[in-house]
Amino acid sequence: MSADDPKTLVSTQWLADHLKDPDLRVIDASWYLPDMNRDPKAEYDAAHIPGARFFDIDDISDTLSDLPHMAPSPEKFMSRLRAMGIGDGHQVVVYDGNGIFSAARVWWLFRLMGKTDIAVLDGGFGKWQAEGREIEDMPPILRDRHMTASRQAHLVKDVTQVAAAAKLGDWQIVDARGAARFRGDEPEPREGLRAGRIPGSKNVHYATLLNEDGTMKRGDALKAAFTQAGVDLDKRIITTCGSGVTAAILSLGLEMLGHRDWALYDGSWAEWGQFEQLKVETG
């Protein structure tokens, strides 16, 4: 794979070279955990990559669900993206303010909706700023663009499917949370959730896929992040995490490695951890 792939990951230089392309659209998908004490919309309003639209992960979701930021219906996705001036025929680049964190979730969401011309900005807004590249604080002028979506059901799993996979062992379940949460040694940040992990799952903390500057590892180094955790890259994989955000970083990494037989557990631990009838492993 080349260093830049407009369907997975592109460099800041690639984006700078293509920023004025008429059919390029940039999305700021910054989202933070409560303990990060950051306001993504306020940061976007203060400074963003020229032309970037702000994508609110919590708003462009299934707001009828009790679970956080579950994937929206294709109809809602199309409606919101059209209003943002993003539609068919656009190449999309998505970034966030934390290297690679929440941007991968939006990459997965586009893929779930059948949109493949989307890439994550490697290193995110922090790398863009560190290189002294152009920023602005003005919102873009939006023009409605026709958008179609077709949900790709094979890219997502629900709790019933994950429970079956855990029981049968026909999928590997790979958890992106930190090791202490995976073992159940520390409490979950969301109230009312048990500590621990899905039985039989393996732990690949999302940060092990990243370099110190927030960029994604490549080649053998990226592969090793999975294989050293006991993941067989020749078998089917379900990615999971706390609420379906950092699991998408694992999905992005798998896609970059050419692994196509993966799906993301959208409910993740926010769902699994609340149901007493679902088994939990610790230790």
What amino acid positions are annotated as catalytic residues? 241
Within 10 Å of residue 133's Cβ, how many Cβ atoms? 16
Measure the CA–CA gap between 26 and 116, rounded to whole angstroms.
15
Work out the burial of residue 42: count CB atoms within 10 Å of its CB; fewer than 13 is exposed, 13-18 middle, 19 or more buried: exposed
- What is the DSSP track for 215-259? PBP-HHHHHHHHHTTT--TTS-EEEE-SSSSTHHHHHHHHHHTT-
**Do the beta carbons of residue 67 and residue 146 sit within 8 Å?**
no
Q: Shortest CA distance to 151 belongs to which of 247, 240, 62?
A: 62
Residue 2, both tokens:
């080349």
Which residues lie closer than 8 Å to 148 by C-beta, 6 or more apart? 78, 88, 114
Question: How many CA within 13 A on the CB side of residue 160?
Answer: 0
